[in-house]
């Protein structure tokens, strides 16, 4: 079938579905970290701690009143939430690379989505259930573990599904993931603006991802009813696969010519010749994991360092920073400081950082010092630890002005987005075409490893405050 005879993506329906599916994969993580003030309030000790005796206090307000209540964070909620969210991601990323051979794709994707929906409903119901802090903590941690385990299987399975579509649709999926954090932060702000009490706000907030996940499930099933999607999903026989790859390589060559990318043009020409001569798809070549790792180790180390630095302070440290205005009477700014300056700012700038890689891939795939650039972000760790965090034990609060925290957060999140997206884009350029699937699996594993390393480091940095 020629390219003109191919089904078209009418009304950009598949594009929109890919965007929504990407949004759905990262909704759980973003909705949980943005709701940290609610969780801390539920876990707050009922007995106020005398001034000067608490090494860790949080502040919250109820019913719109100007109430500032100090209390201990005995559960280290931020740290445990981060760790128990990333460990299942690491484990299930490995698990998914094996189970996909035995469990059908629709079962993995639809089953994970339905499980996530029920876990979100459980979290929303839990808002109105009275229980002691320890029981609430245990149930919340169990929910976080299982919801992120299903998210890992869902994300890996969707990435595999989207390899059957042109590159544009994978990009839209990634854009949807980038939108998830902003979506969660805006949902929190709208809930807080309602003026209701803390638990009603939390109920409204957790109902939102229930609706979002349900929409994602509907979109996934609609995907198989769209002619354009059916055409690409049915590319299972050798001839259609060859034709599809030939079209893809030709498209890549045109893009390289338009962008003036000499390296990209050279690789595209080689791929095009391989596809034309029938080299693609006729014989499955063996792939050595160690050989691929030798080619992409720079990218793998870069993404581990990037996420290791980010998760070591976000949100475990950054969510503890309070506004200096909190010492005055502006309760409104104090209440919205963390949702706006921490979570909303991070997600918007992270999204921008990821988008920069669509315009430039500096310093390029052959750069050996890329890990050093990623490691330089470690400077943000002491900067955030010296911001206005109340009742610290060891370190002083040096950067007390709100402006310092906002500036640090802008550059912190912008560089995070760029150095997350850059190695993911450069790694495929370092390997042969038949090594692409192994490269994707390895980079996904190192991404999860970086998240887990950062979550573990957050415990140590918190004790230094």
Residues 376-412 pLDDT 10s: 999 999 999 999 998 788 889 999 899 999 999 999 9
Torsion, CA 262, CA 263, CA 267, CA 269, rounded to 10: 10
State the pLDDT at residue 452.
87
64 pLDDT above the threshold of 60: no
Mean pLDDT across the chain: 79
CATH 1.20.1250.20 assigned to domain 10-234? The reply is yes
Among 33, 125, 15, 20, smallest CA distance to 77 is for: 33
Cα 196 from chain centroid?
30
State the pLDDT at residue 63.
31
d(CA 306, CA 315): 15
Look up the CATH number of domain 287-465. Answer: 1.20.1250
Percent of residues, the chain, with pLDDT higher than 70: 77
Q: What is the pLDDT of residues 232-265, one digit of tens each?
A: 777 644 344 444 444 444 444 554 444 455 545 5
Q: What is the CA radius of gyration of the chain?
A: 23
Domains in the chain: boundaries: 10-234, 238-283, 287-465
- Cβ(341)–Cβ(272) under 8 Å? no
- Cβ(336)–Cβ(192) under 8 Å? yes
DSSP 436: H
DSSP 386: T
SS3 letters across 276-323: HCCCCCCCCCCCCHHHHHHHHHHHHHHHHHHHHHHHHHCCCCHHHCCC
Q: Answer whether 10-234 and 287-465 agree in fold.
A: yes
Can you read off the two tokens belonging to residue 347? 């997600």
Angle subtended by helix axes 13-34 and 105-126, to nearest 10: 40
d(CA 149, CA 457): 21
Q: What is the pLDDT of residues 106-133, one digit of tens each?
A: 888 899 999 999 999 999 999 988 888 9
Specify the residue for token string 């206005």.
388
State the pLDDT at residue 331.
67
């Amino acid at each position: 079938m020629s390219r003109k005879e191919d089904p078209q993506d009418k009304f950009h329906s598949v594009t929109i579905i890919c965007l929504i599916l990407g949004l759905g994969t990262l909704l759980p993580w973003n909705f949980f970290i943005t709701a940290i003030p609610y969780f801390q309030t539920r876990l707050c000790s009922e007995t106020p701690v005398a001034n000067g005796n608490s090494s860790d206090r949080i502040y919250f307000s109820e019913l719109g009143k100007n109430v500032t209540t100090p209390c201990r964070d005995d559960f280290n909620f931020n740290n445990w939430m981060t760790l128990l969210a990333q460990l299942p991601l690491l484990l299930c990323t490995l698990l998914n690379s094996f189970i996909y051979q035995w469990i059908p794709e629709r079962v993995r994707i639809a089953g994970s989505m339905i499980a996530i929906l029920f876990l979100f409903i459980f979290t929303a119901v839990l808002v109105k259930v009275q229980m002691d802090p320890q029981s609430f903590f245990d149930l919340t941690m169990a929910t976080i573990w299982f919801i992120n385990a299903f998210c890992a299987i869902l994300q890996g399975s969707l990435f595999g599904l989207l390899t059957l579509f042109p590159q544009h649709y994978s990009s839209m999926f990634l854009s949807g993931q980038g939108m998830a954090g902003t979506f969660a932060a805006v949902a929190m702000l709208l809930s807080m603006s309602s003026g209701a009490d803390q638990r009603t706000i939390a109920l409204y907030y957790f109902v939102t991802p229930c609706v979002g996940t349900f929409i994602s499930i509907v979109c996934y099933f609609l995907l198989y009813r769209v002619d354009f999607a059916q055409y690409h999903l049915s590319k299972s026989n050798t001839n259609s696969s060859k034709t599809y790859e030939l079209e893809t390589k030709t498209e890549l060559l045109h893009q390289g010519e338009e962008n003036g990318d000499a390296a990209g043009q050279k690789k595209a020409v080689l791929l095009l010749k391989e596809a034309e001569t029938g080299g693609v798809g006729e014989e499955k070549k063996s792939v050595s994991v160690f050989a691929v790792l030798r080619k992409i180790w720079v990218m793998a180390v870069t993404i581990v360092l990037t996420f290791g630095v980010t998760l070591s302070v976000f949100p475990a440290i950054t969510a503890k920073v309070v506004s200096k205005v909190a010492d005055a009477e502006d309760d409104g700014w104090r209440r919205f400081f963390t949702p706006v300056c921490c979570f909303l700012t991070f997600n918007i700038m992270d999204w921008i950082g990821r988008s920069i890689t669509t315009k430039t891939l500096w310093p390029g795939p052959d750069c050996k010092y890329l890990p050093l650039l990623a490691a330089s972000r470690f400077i943000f760790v002491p900067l955030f630890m010296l911001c206005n965090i109340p009742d610290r034990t060891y370190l002083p609060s040096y950067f007390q002005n709100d402006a310092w925290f906002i500036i640090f957060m802008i550059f912190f999140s912008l560089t995070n987005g760029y150095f997350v997206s850059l190695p993911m884009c450069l790694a495929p350029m370092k390997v042969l075409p038949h090594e692409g699937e192994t490269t994707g699996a390895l980079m996904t594993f190192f991404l999860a490893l970086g998240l887990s390393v950062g979550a573990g480091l957050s415990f140590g940095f918190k004790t230094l405050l």
